Amino acid sequence: MRWARFVWLRRWHGLMGFGISSYVMLLACCVVLISPTSSEAQQSARPQPPNIVVLLADDAGWGDYSVSGNPYVKTPHIDSIAQQGVSLTNFYVCPVCSPTRAEFLTGRYALRTGVRGVSLGEERLNLDEQSIAEHFRKAGYRTGIFGKWHNGSQGPYHPLARGFDVQLGYTAGHWSEYIDAPLESQGRPVTSEGYIVDTCMNAAIDFISSSQPPFFCYVPLTTPHSPWCVPQTYWNRWKDRDVGLTGKEADAVRCVYAMMEQQDDAVGRLLARLDSLHLSSNTIVLYFSDNGPNTVRWNGDMRGRKGTVDEGGVRSVGFLRWPGHIPPGSTQTGLIGAIDLLPTLAGLANIPLDSAKPLDGLDVSTALLKNVPFERQQPLLSHWAGKFSLRSPTHRLDFQSRLYDMQHDRSQKVDLSTTHPEIASVMRQQLERLKTELLQPPATSQQSAQLDTADILKSPWLLPAHKEFLAHPAQDSRLYPVGYVSLPYTWLPARDGQPLGKIQRSSNAPNSSYFTNWNDDQSAVVWPVDILTSGAYRIELESTSPATAIGSELEISFQDSKLSVLISISHDPPTDTRQDTIPRPKAETLSKPFRRWQAGSIQLPAGPGLLTIRATQLQGSSIIDLKSINLILEEQRP
């Protein structure tokens, strides 16, 4: 390039009749102008950091892929990630959704991060944890999330406060609508069109297409988590097919496989877009699932499913491709877990990690690039519902202290604890050390604001329902923040509230539930909140009410602030039958379209307290079914 410029300058000199001294001076000036600085030269010499695309399935088991040997389902696009890269054959996640996501996001065991459940606030990632998106954004990446977050809904737990620049999807752990789903975009509610997997995948593809590399694109997919809903064209292919089972169980599995094939097509569209944009060669694509299968179905004869700490409940596929860097069709037999993904992706991308907290995960990048087995010295812990299991490179110690040889007995049929007592003893000691370390309460509170029980009991707005709440507080003591300035829209779903008196949840599972049986003036719903910013808040409700409830009044209160709300419009729609290809599990709420409406404004002081909704005037036998209350900060007050 410089030689071409030199020839051009000589020709220009001849045409313009410059003297040699003028020419030298002009050349010197041009060299100054066109020569890069040393730092620019170093940057241009460095290879372009790879883009990162992470695809996370929801409730898919290790056996739900044709590449795993499933005799029923075909997943060619997802399989291609393994065929063009590496398959992690001993890759482990958690037994349920939110802990796996926390471990991927932080590189630390979920029990360290504050994530101890899947709802009722226990799914929230502690505010002093650094996410993988924060690390990559600090390194210059544009970051986006498209799908299910499940690690906190309100700012600053929200993904837009945890390192993501762009967001479309939902923050809850379970979603009730898959067709024309109500979602949120950039922290605000939106109504989508079409099937939820396509909606989120299309947004991810648009993000990739519009982003200047490098980008970090996280696509936590919705399927095959229930409800059992899939586009009709996919169901038509599956509704009569053999899946190795009969009866209602067979229909659920048919729907799962239909969902997997739909998901596979969506993944194929994203991979095709990377190809068409000529980005595949410098994009790392990672695919895995968050736990074992959510029904009984083919899973390589492993014991356990979702919610268990046995092999079948925590083993996942792990596929990673990076053309030109990861040998195609390779396998990695080393013991690897979700906690290793953050340091490994950072290692592959040459991103420095300045984590304020020590990571449990290890950087496996060198083993992947060199195609050599990764040698892990410490075992991996699995935990759920008070049960613990430990996986070493060769053995599993289950929650009943039975020992199994995982190299020859993944089905966990032969207990070796008496024939190999030395191995069992070492693993029991390792497990006890980890349990002691991980089950300790955090050194400092993650949220300084706490409810003052004495003040609540003295307050003039005290209801019998409040006494009930104080007698049986929520398991998670962290309050729900309201009024985070960067995200002024605060969503408080029924999942996070506590029904008191006669009010009930619409289902046993809090996620996607709503409050119903609201027919007296002594019952209430409370949310233990911390108002971060004092000021004027607009109140928005998502609800349904029958015609007989018109004229009823609600009272929304927080400390001494109150807002009276009149129910003046009937909205009582039937169940949305589009959302169920086959009947959903009994624990899940049936879907219906809720009305989102403005209930008024209220001045709220900063500080902790109970946000309360109750009925003060009653008409008819049923007043309201409530899906959520949303508070929008409109004006800050000093």
Hey, which residues are catalytic here?
97, 150
The whole-angstrom separation of Cα 561 and Cα 457 is 17
* Residue in 188, 142, 150 with CA at minimum distance from that of residue 166: 142
Helix (H) or strand (E) holding 288: strand 283-289
Q: Is the distance from CB of 289 to CB of 317 less than 8 angstroms?
A: yes
Q: Is the distance from CB of 399 to CB of 389 less than 8 angstroms?
A: yes
Residue 9 — φ and ψ, nearest 5°? -70, -35
* CB-based contacts of 512, cutoff 8 Å, min separation 6: 172, 174, 175, 176, 495, 588, 589, 591
Terminal CA-CA length for the chain:
60
What is the amino acid identity at position 569? I
What is the amino acid identity at position 560? D
Q: How many CB atoms lie within 10 A of CB 105?
A: 28
Helix (H) or strand (E) holding 397: strand 395-397
Tokens of 276: 């068409």
The whole-angstrom separation of Cα 404 and Cα 424 is 9
Residue 493 — φ and ψ, nearest 5°? -75, 165
The whole-angstrom separation of Cα 320 and Cα 424 is 33
> Using omega within 30 degrees of 0 as the cis cutoff, is the peptide bond preceding 224 cis?
yes
What is the DSSP code (8-state) at residue 147?
A: E
